[in-house]
Amino acid sequence: MALRLASWNINSVRLRLDNVRRLIAEWSPDVLCLQETKTPDALFPAAAFDELGYHHRLVHGMKGYNGVAILSRVPLATPQTRNWCTREDCRHAIAGLPGGIELHNIYVPVGGDVPDPETNPKFAHKLQFLDEIAEWFAGERRDGRAMIAVGDLNIAPLEADVWSHKQLLRVVSHTPVEVEKLNRLQQSGGFVDAVRHFVPPPQRLYTWWSYRARDWAASDRGRRLDHIWVTPALVGELAAAQVLRDSRGWALASDHVPVIVTIGS
pLDDT of residue 265: 82
Does residue 93 carry a pLDDT above 90? Answer: yes
Task: Look at the chain and report how many structural domains it folds into.
Answer: 1
What is the band of 183 on the pLDDT scale with cuts at 50, 70, 90? very high
Average pLDDT in the 52-77 region? 97
Mean pLDDT, range 232-244, rounded to an integer: 97
Give the distance between the most distant pair of CA atoms in the chain: 50
CA 96-240-225 angle, 5° bins: 75
CB 31 within 8 A of CB 6: yes
Overall average pLDDT of the 24-52 stretch = 98
Q: What local confidence, expressed as pLDDT, does residue 168 receive? A: 98
* pLDDT exceeds cutoff 90 at 175: yes
Q: Does the structure show a pLDDT above 80 at 58?
A: yes
pLDDT exceeds 80 at position 1: no
The CATH number of the domain holding residue 13 is 3.60.10.10
pLDDT at 111 over 80: yes
Answer whether residue 99 shows pLDDT above 80.
yes
Rounded CA-CA distance 20/200 in Å is: 28
How many other CB atoms are there within 10 angstroms of residue 119's CB atom? 10
Would residue 64 be called left, alpha or beta, if left means φ above 0 and alpha means ψ between -120 and 50 degrees?
A: left
Q: How confident is the model over 143-171, as pLDDT tens digits?
A: 889 999 999 999 999 999 999 999 999 99
For residue 74, the model assigns a pLDDT of 98
Phi-psi bin for 99: left (phi > 0), alpha (psi -120 to 50), beta?
A: left
User: Residue 46: which domain range?
Assistant: 3-263
